[in-house]
Amino acid sequence: MSLLFLAQHAGACRALRNFAAGFPRTAAISLDVSSVADLDKEVAAHDVVISLIPYIYHAAVIKSAIKYKTQVVTISYVSPAIKELDDAAKEAGITVLNEVGVDPGVDHLYAIKKIDEVHSKGGKVREFYSYCGGLPAPGCADNPLGFKFSWSPRGALLSQRNSATFLQNGQVIEISSDELMAASKPYYVMKGYDFVAYPTAIRFHFESSTTFLKRTPSFEGHLGTRETQHSCKPWRT
């Protein structure tokens, strides 16, 4: 089986080159995914494509994979563009596995694991809280955002413009993108570390639940900067 990893930024590329150096029949290449011909050439030569690039390019990767019956894995939510390709992917007989990163991905797996454990013992989940996100070490959170880009900067920033929906005390709560940062709450992890967490959209919940809430943590004191960005015209456009 041959795998094609697609990564975006320099850090990931260096990591992949180092990774590739330790294995036979493995090489790191530079590829312009906006070039259909170049993308088709590489996708056709592999059995599985693992796409770690920004979500706006996943549809192009999947279209190429449909042509050459190549399996696809992504770390992103299912976008409308991906959903439109569902029938074509099924007709081609390929698997397109999405949402298998950290968030979304690991958080969902652990949620299902814990909920299944409760159900296996005859219990019901009344309240469920999930906190997941990637943060730099406190000593390295040395910029106004208190954040370092480990993935697509565009995607990371746009995630702060998402709306949020969650279940709380039996009521569906909707938070607009303009109010997202203002809806942040203090989140205690351990002594000496101050966090706040803002709500995100839930993708599933259970009928027995009265509260099903998912939040993304951030260092306290830095969300104000993000709120300021939301009110700026260049940011909003």
- CB neighbours of residue 6 within 10 Å: 21
Distance of CA 142 to the CA centre of its chain: 24
The residue annotated as part of the active site, out of 47, 103, 142, 194, is 103
| 49, 97 contact by CB (below 8 A) | no
Strand partners, 48: 3, 71
Q: What token pair was written down for 169?
A: 């005390």
- Lookup: tokens for 98: 């999405």
For 148-185, b where at least 16 C-beta lie within 10 A, e where not — what string?
Answer: eeebbeeebeebbebebebbeeeeeeebeeeebbeebe
Is 87 assigned a catalytic role? Answer: no
Known catalytic residues are 103
